[in-house]
Structure 1
């Protein structure tokens, strides 16, 4: 409002000065024109030569000086308060008003107009400065707005006087009257708790009020256009409790994650220790076993004379068979330890998946026939993978051997492969005994013999699946097992293809 009044007053003063200047100059030129016309007629009517004329004529608006110039070229240029009149053969008559009497009057009136504008601006500033409280209409607007807001709301003048507040504000801050000032309200609130500044940026201040009863209020201050400001109060007690609970849960999650990481490191260290132990044990046991097997072979052939009783030959054969079985078991343990420990490197040669499956099928076809099973070889996929030939044959052979071992007579074993643009999947499916979820979960651990259903003759130490899984993972693939009791088992081994050239047969 003060700026508007000031601009209006200055504009009015400027227009008055312009109008007064134009009017004064116009009146002076009209007087000069009237006087000059009369004097020019009188001089032009005179036929006798005239001496140089210099005359002063006093008017009500000032003094007019008249000069006659016989030579027009010597006459001065016209000004704002001068006029020239031709007088025939006598030359030019120049009339000029006295500027010393015109401009001071204009200046006085201009200063008076500017003084009036300054006075109006000062009065307006004084009224706005000393009367901060909004008028009745503004108070009504503020009150209507405060009543519609669902949170506590109060409007204050820039000096801290309360303008209006709604009922929520009164209830949450325990206000009884409207005569309270902002500093008094803040002092009252801090006396019952403490206040913490959360944010003070972009002309908005955000504070948290923590009270003695445990409640928490969020107070937000926002400026208004007329220099006043408003405060918004929100009860955030429940949100604070939820945040505290959430922080506690996150802290517990961090502790659990750290403990999990520590236990994982311990488990990995234990696994490495186990692998190293098995590797050393296999090396230490294989040497005496080789001696036992060798001496049993010599005794069986009676290289240094007969043994006597023929039963000794059966005992020697049992010693040799048991030793060979132990040697094979420890060799398998050593292989698993080397595979899991990353000590055994696998080759990476291009291999045809169809040729691998044909070789495995040829190897086990006789065994399936003796077990009374039908062996089904799926259609070729035409895929070429990169891997270790002996390792992949052993991987597939272990799964096929398990399938034959746990499938009753009359069942079926299927060996198939399916290729895509990014990999190939080898599936070994049987219609055997199957496994429940508990048994299926135990297959991830070596030496898992299972229940009595699986303790058949020739069952090893449960390392075949573990070795196959290790070979699949070292080849960049994965192995998955799906099984149901009395329905059979399907083992899927996925291997990656290095490039699209690995698929020779498309469709």
Structure 2
């Protein structure tokens, strides 16, 4: 019997350790998922601030931090959850209560096994144990880290430890089992969790808000044992985690609904723009064609020379509108993924040289010089027409906003993991507020500094979309009266990385 009791205690301790640490791991994953949803769309600085604020809700349970390397290792009791480009959230238990609880319950299980062994060895036919056995019970009960009381078959108290006395406010005088139960329940209620041949498990909710777990088990054939443990903090933790799960489900449902709405709105916008573009481009092409015929006086003279100027104005305005609608449709197709980009190996130096050559004449007319940086011999994978359009939009903006006598520099800088293309001008620059507005399409420039009209303000938005579809990123740095620098980071071609021509 002793061997069976100790084997059962060992199995109980092993199972309890597995369940406890598995629950802790799942709880950390759940908390980490909730925190990740709150910060994933934020920039690193805002994410750190939000994480410090949000993690405070779970401060008694975890310590949360943001690490840039998602491969960093957490402790054996911690968790690492990736958060997109921000790195990963590192979660650690604030206190190792789980290990302490396993040790306490394990000690209690082995103490119970010892008590049962003593009971089997020193079993007596009557209900009142001899003094030696009672002293053994008392010694073992004092070593158990939870409330313990041993009773005879008739409910008379054999022995109990101080924790049990404190739980029922017991004085020095003896009490029976039924009196002890009444004191435990006073002002609260008890709920039966499990009952069987090997005892029963009850949960006691007291008037002061505390919660006790009462485990009653047979003590040989002469009596039974009551184990009382305080699970108030565990209940609070379970309540908090339940609230987190509900909030997470609510956020996930809202995110899914908003995502569906956004996708539907994006499809509707693309379809609308496609139909609108067709309905407007067709008559515009007619207007431009007829204006060209009239400008060349194909079917006879127009008469007054001013008519030629009017016709030229009609043609120019139609072409401007046609280009604007083409830009709108192109941006919609890029954002919706309907316009695919090729992936061919391209020499960065040739790409920059081609764009500079294309805009050199326009820059000379505006009194602006174009300078090309040192060659890098780097090769990227991308769509040649798309990347040329991206650089062309940025160079055209630089020409428009750089006064005569200024300079535009096109340069590339290669590194082992990618290439950075930079377009720098000495133009009028932009304020911080203006920079923030550039993240929104259709943000028009200041008309007082443009040379050829504002346009729909989509050049940078199209360039940004092409950069991101090419696996890169676009960033802008500008200061009023000092100029603007636009940097585009692109990955190197996978086959060669960086190579010489």
Same fold (TM over 0.5): yes
Which of 340, 344, 353 is residue 345 of structure 1 equivalent to?
Answer: 340
Aligned position for 1:477: 472
Report deviation, 1:292: 0.9
Matched, 1:154 2:154: no
In 2, Cα distance between equivalents of 1:125 and 1:503: 81
Counterparts of 1:168-183 in structure 2 under 5 Å?
A: 168-175=163-170, 178-182=173-177
Residue correspondence of structure 1 range 57-206 to structure 2 within 5 A: 128-130=124-126, 133=129, 135=131, 139=135, 142=138, 146=142, 153-157=147-151, 159=153, 161-166=156-161, 168-175=163-170, 178-182=173-177, 185-186=180-181, 189=184, 192-197=188-193
Change (3 A) 1:200 1:455: farther
How many angstroms apart in 1 are the aligned matches of 2:259 and 2:416?
36
Taking a change above 3 Å as real, the CA distance of residues 416 and 239 of structure 1, as seen in their structure-2 partners, is same
**Count of residue correspondences:** 383
Q: Which residue of 2 aligns with 1:465?
A: 460
1:300 partnered with 2:295: yes
Alignment of 1:497 with 2:492, yes or no, is yes
Partner residue in 1 for 2:98: none
Q: 2: CA distance between counterparts of 1:235 and 1:2?
A: 28
| Residues 1:373 and 1:177: Cα distance change in structure 2 (over 3 Å) | same
1:75-111 residue CA offsets vs partner (Å, 9 max, x unmatched)? xxxxxxxxxxxxxxxxxxxxxxxxxxxxxxxxxxxxx
Cα distance in 2, alignment partners of residues 318 and 407 from structure 1 = 26
Is the CA contact 2:152–2:158 (under 8 Å) kept in the aligned structure 1? no
Instruction: Classify the secondary structure of the residue corresponding to 1:365.
Output: helix
Rg comparison, structure with higher value: 1
Q: Which residue of 2 aligns with 1:398?
A: 393
Q: Is the 8 A contact 2:203 2:214 kept in 1?
A: yes
Change in Cα spacing, 1:486 to 1:231, as seen in structure 2 (3 Å) is farther
CA distance in 2, matches of 1:217, 1:387: 66
Aligned residue among 255, 259, 271 for 2:254: 259
Q: Is the 8 A contact 1:198 1:208 kept in 2?
A: no
Matched, 1:332 2:332: no
* 1:25 paired residue number: none
Deviation at 1:355, TM superposition (A): 0.5
Distance change (3 Å), C-alpha of 1:141 and 1:471: same
CA-to-partner distance for each residue in 1:426-454, whole Å, 9 max, x for gaps?
Answer: 22233444444543343333212156677
Q: 2: CA distance between counterparts of 1:482 and 1:425?
A: 14
Q: Cα–Cα, structure 1 residues 223 and 401, in superposed 2: closer, same or farther, change >3 Å?
A: farther
**Superposition pairs of residues 202-241 of structure 1, within 5 angstroms:** 207-219=202-214, 231-237=226-232, 239-241=234-236
| Distance apart, 1:389 and its partner CA | 1.8
Deviation at 1:229, TM superposition (A): 6.9
Residue in structure 2 matched with residue 87 of structure 1 by the alignment = none
Structure 1: runs of 5 or more not aligned: 4-123
Instruction: Call closer, same or farther: CA 1:379–1:225 in 2, change over 3 Å.
Output: farther
Tell me if the contact between 2:151 and 2:177 (Cα under 8 Å) persists in the aligned partners: no
Q: After TM superposition, give the deviation of residue 331 of structure 1 in Å.
A: 1.9
CA distance in 1, matches of 2:406, 2:433: 24
Correspondent of 2:308 among 309, 313, 335: 313
Post-superposition shift, 1:269? 1.2
Q: Is 1:2–1:128's contact at 8 Å kept on the other side of the alignment?
A: no
SS in 1 for 2:310: helix
Asked whether the 8 Å contact 1:209–1:216 carries over to 2, the reply is yes
Deviations 1:262-308 (A, max 9, x none): 11221121111111111111111111111111222222233333333
Q: TM-score, normalised by structure 2?
A: 0.64
Residue 501 of structure 1 aligns to a residue in which SS? Answer: coil
Give the gaps of 5 or more residues in structure 2.
4-119
Relative to structure 1, the CA distance from residue 495 to residue 237 in structure 2 (aligned partners, 3 Å threshold; closer, same or farther) is same
CA distance in structure 1 between the aligned counterparts of 2:276 and 2:252, rounded to whole angstroms: 35
CA RMSD across the alignment: 4.0
Larger displacement relative to structure 2 (438-447 or 265-274): 438-447
Q: Deviations over 1:161-196 (max 9, x none)?
A: 423445553343344565434455346645741224
The aligned residue for residue 284 of structure 2 is 289
Does the residue aligned with 1:494 lie in a helix, a strand or coil? strand
